[in-house]
């Protein structure tokens, strides 16, 4: 139930002489309680497919995850500035949409990272900055998530058509900078991450250009999270080795963009998202259970910020041999193997 609804009902009860203050107190006790928990310096936060009807809090508890990246937020139609979970008009940014789940995750000491975009939105003009031409309106949506859910990081998943849309990139980065200034002014903690496609040697020129535009607009990008899967280059991949080479390439690109940052700070800006099992390309790109253990060890040693995977609902061995499934990894594995392997990466105090 949204705060507007509670306020309206309480006002009506007062007007009727029906004990509005008491009714308001009783109603408030049923609203989710949000705690704005900052991200740890090193966090495992797998993606949760928010369109499935499942409870993120329940799956987080079952899998042992304290942090989730919730995908995706987008507009329902190109040209709109109104944002919904999965573009579904029945799921606005409101307490009724995942509010109780997010509060439950926060009560267990974690938090969620709302994610905008994704492949579907990025190819239909419904990613927020692709759809909405008002910087102020885009920034207001980002700010509304902080106020509504007590979140402290927002993810921007920009790929496919969106990563080539220079006008949208510019207004998105201007909106990020505006939201960051709002957070500083109002005492909120707010980080932004960009989730971007990668080659095995780092970002493509379009990804570097996006980050350069962020620098030019004064937008602080706290994490650059590369998707180390779906290379689609026809090669057979050692997915663990290619994760390391892609992240090393990203590190060098970040060093060129931010020459005054120390190596530790640069590595602390890197994020990696894997796709457990067989990715969308096929068996040539298979991230194995052995790869997971090796990459987690590397991520700890390097001190990267974020270690994630797509997606929580795939973390089971229910469809051996299937590529790119949304509900299973395509390989033989124990249920929640990747969650249990990645989750120990979460450690350290809040990064300032």
Mean pLDDT of 48-65: 98
2 falls in which pLDDT band (50, 70, 90)? very low
Pick 13 or 53 by higher pLDDT: 53
Close Cβ partners of 23 (under 8 Å, ≥ 6 residues apart) = 9, 10, 13
Mean pLDDT of 267-280: 98
Predicted confidence (pLDDT) at residue 78 exceeds the cutoff of 70: yes
pLDDT score at 351: 59
Work out the number of other CB atoms within 10 angstroms of the CB of residue 149. 25
Q: CA distances (Å), 58 to each of 68, 101, 201, in order?
A: 12, 8, 37
Tell the CATH superfamily of the 33-350 domain: Glycosidases (3.20.20.80)
Work out the number of other CB atoms within 10 angstroms of the CB of residue 90. 9
Predicted confidence (pLDDT) at residue 231 exceeds the cutoff of 70: yes
pLDDT score at 30: 55
31 falls in which pLDDT band (50, 70, 90)? low
225 falls in which pLDDT band (50, 70, 90)? very high
User: In angstroms, rounded to a whole number, what is the distance separating the alpha carbons of residues 35 and 37?
Assistant: 6
342 neighbors 299 (Cβ within 8 angstroms): no
32-43 per-position pLDDT tens digit: 789 998 999 999
Predicted confidence (pLDDT) at residue 197 exceeds the cutoff of 60: yes
- Domain ranges, ordered by start, for the chain: 1-31, 33-350
124 exposure class (CB count in 10 Å sphere: 0-12, 13-18, 19+): middle
Closest to 291 in 3D by CA, of 225, 234, 243: 243
As a whole number, the mean pLDDT across the chain is: 92
User: In angstroms, rounded to a whole number, what is the distance separating the alpha carbons of residues 139 and 172?
Assistant: 8
276-301 per-position pLDDT tens digit: 999 999 999 999 999 999 999 999 99
Predicted confidence (pLDDT) at residue 14 exceeds the cutoff of 50: no
CA angle 67, 69, 71 (to 5 degrees): 150
pLDDT score at 344: 95
């Amino acid at each position: 139930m949204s705060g507007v609804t509670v306020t309206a009902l309480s006002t009506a009860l007062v007007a009727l002489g029906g004990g509005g203050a008491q009714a308001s107190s009783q109603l408030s006790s049923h609203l989710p309680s949000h705690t704005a928990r900052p991200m740890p310096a090193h966090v495992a936060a797998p993606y949760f497919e928010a369109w499935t009807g499942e409870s993120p809090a329940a799956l987080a508890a079952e899998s042992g995850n304290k942090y989730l990246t919730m995908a995706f937020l987008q507009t329902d139609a190109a040209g709109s500035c109104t944002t919904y979970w999965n573009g579904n008009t029945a799921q606005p940014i409101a307490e009724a949409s995942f509010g109780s789940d997010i509060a439950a995750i926060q009560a267990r000491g974690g938090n969620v990272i709302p994610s905008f975009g994704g492949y579907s939105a990025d190819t239909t003009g419904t990613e927020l900055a692709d759809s909405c031409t008002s910087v102020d309106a885009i920034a207001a949506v980002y700010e509304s998530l902080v106020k509504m859910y007590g979140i402290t990081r927002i993810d921007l998943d920009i790929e496919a058509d969106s990563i080539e849309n220079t006008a949208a990139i510019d207004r998105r980065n201007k909106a990020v900078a505006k939201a960051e200034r709002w957070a500083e002014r109002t005492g909120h903690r707010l980080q932004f991450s960009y989730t971007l496609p990668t080659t095995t040697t780092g970002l493509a020129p379009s990804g570097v250009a996006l980050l350069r535009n962020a620098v030019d607009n004064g937008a602080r990008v706290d994490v650059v999270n590369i998707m180390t899967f779906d290379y689609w280059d026809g090669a057979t991949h050692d997915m663990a080795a290619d994760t390391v080479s892609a992240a090393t390439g990203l590190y060098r690109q970040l060093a060129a963009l931010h020459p005054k940052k120390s190596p530790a700070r640069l590595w602390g800006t890197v994020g990696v998202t894997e796709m457990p099992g067989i990715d969308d390309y096929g068996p040539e790109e298979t991230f194995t259970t052995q790869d997971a253990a090796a990459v987690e060890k590397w991520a700890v040693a390097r001190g990267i910020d974020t270690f994630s995977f797509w997606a929580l609902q795939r973390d089971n061995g229910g469809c051996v041999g299937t590529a790119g499934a949304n509900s299973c990894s395509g390989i033989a594995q124990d249920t929640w193997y990747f969650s249990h392997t990645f989750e120990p990466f979460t450690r350290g105090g809040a990064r300032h």
